[in-house]
Structure 1
Amino acid sequence: MSALTDALNRIIEWLQQNSPTCASGFLPGLSSREIEEKLSELPFCVSREVYELYQWRNGINNGCGVFVYHCLLDLETALRDSQGINDSFWLEAREEDGNPKYLFPIFDFDGEYFAVPGSDSLNGTAPIFHVDGDDGSLSFAFTNLTHMMLAIAECYETGVYSVTSDGNVEVTDEAKFGEIRRKHNPGSVEQLYANGW
């Protein structure tokens, strides 16, 4: 089992024990063939980690934001949202700023994404960027999807995440989350948000 799948399984095991409602919202994974067919619509390639993620689960359908408040998009929604963040305006703006031309969103919270850059060829891993929902600006958030999930799994297991009385998952210590994120992702931005994480 890869480190990515192991981290994802740690997360879902924690959710099954502590927030069964959130855990029950994950959709079954897709086959390699289904993923390849859907992703062939893109004018770029995504990392193999994205394929592995969607083989594990194809999104979440109950609105639980279990990955840093962000919901795991199902592949159809990710493809649709990809068209929006890759329209000509955003492509030109990113190129002018020296950022990756194409992005593929994986996690969403009200139009704010965590996304992988597109490339000309299929790579094993790719960095994860935070895409600001207001101005589309990018921040280098995680070195790759595996390290993102390792950080999030550690946050669940160490109490940085907890379950509210209504069954939702929330971050209880944003500064500690930031420390764990940076530990697993050296070289990433110091803070994603003004309050330290």
Structure 2
Amino acid sequence: MLSPLIEALERIRYWLEQNLPESATALEPGLSLSEIEELLSTFPFQLPAEIYALYQWRNGSSSQDYNFFPFHWFLPLDIALSFIEEEKQIQAKLTKHSEASWNDCWFPFSRFQGDYYIVKGSENSQAFSPVYLVFQEDREVDDPWMVYSSLTTMMLSLAEGYETGAYYLDENKIINTDESAIEKIERKYNPEIDHDLDDD
């Protein structure tokens, strides 16, 4: 039996196969556990088990032009690590109060321009971690905006969004959003989280 996370990922992949096949075929084969552990050997924190499951399922998308998540590039693991190093190099050139600061426990698995979906590593291994959105202009915050209670609830939300038309294609095969429908879905799977950015 598939885990809820993998089942949701497969639902997303199936929708893409039917509607945006280039995005489905851009998915890279999954990595073995030993390959993931080797790549993460320099990451100073333990990542949640969900991240290992995600990258065993698929190692991101080969091109940022074919999105698995709406508007965001599903980062291959080596590229995710390279973005961490890039962010640290930017940080080293600027003061610690700069907008470019990056927390060492942040792990980005998805990117849109300069914004990232991240999970936080911890000292001890854990099954789940909330998913946060780190904005390019908000690097200095200690607690970025929590958008999903876990990677699993994120994928369940996205899968239902694709399947119900909350995310839909226009005549040019570009993904559009029904914001009201998306908010309802996200509240269904993550009722404890404030989903309204305008409240800030």
TM over 0.5: yes
Aligned residue runs from structure 1 range 100-139, under 5 A: 102-136=105-139, 137=141, 138-139=144-145
Looking at structure 2, the residues matched to 101 and 41 of structure 1 have their Cα atoms a distance apart, in angstroms, of 11
Aligned: 1:180 with 2:181: no
Looking at structure 2, the residues matched to 183 and 9 of structure 1 have their Cα atoms a distance apart, in angstroms, of 20
Assess if the C-alpha contact under 8 Å between 2:170 and 2:176 holds in 1. Answer: no
CA RMSD in angstroms, aligned pairs only: 2.5
Aligned letter for 2:66? C
Aligned residue runs from structure 1 range 152-163, under 5 A: 152-163=158-169
Count how many residue pairs are aligned between Structure 1 and Structure 2: 189
Aligned: 1:141 with 2:120: no
Looking at structure 2, the residues matched to 158 and 133 of structure 1 have their Cα atoms a distance apart, in angstroms, of 31
Looking at structure 2, the residues matched to 166 and 10 of structure 1 have their Cα atoms a distance apart, in angstroms, of 23
Report the secondary structure of 2:162's partner residue: helix
Could you say which residue in structure 1 is the equivalent of 2:16?
Answer: 15
Q: TM-score, normalised by structure 1?
A: 0.86
Assess if the C-alpha contact under 8 Å between 2:61 and 2:68 holds in 1. Answer: no
Identity across matched positions, percent: 38
Deviation at 1:184, TM superposition (A): 0.5
Deviation per CA, 1:162-186: give whole Å up to 9, x if none: 2233434x23301211221121012
1:86–1:48 Cα change, 3 Å? farther
Could you say which residue in structure 1 is the equivalent of 2:81?
Answer: 79
1:85–1:118 Cα change, 3 Å? farther
Aligned letter for 1:75? L
Q: TM-score, normalised by structure 2?
A: 0.85
Report the secondary structure of 1:59's partner residue: strand
1:38–1:125 Cα change, 3 Å? same
Looking at structure 2, the residues matched to 82 and 189 of structure 1 have their Cα atoms a distance apart, in angstroms, of 27
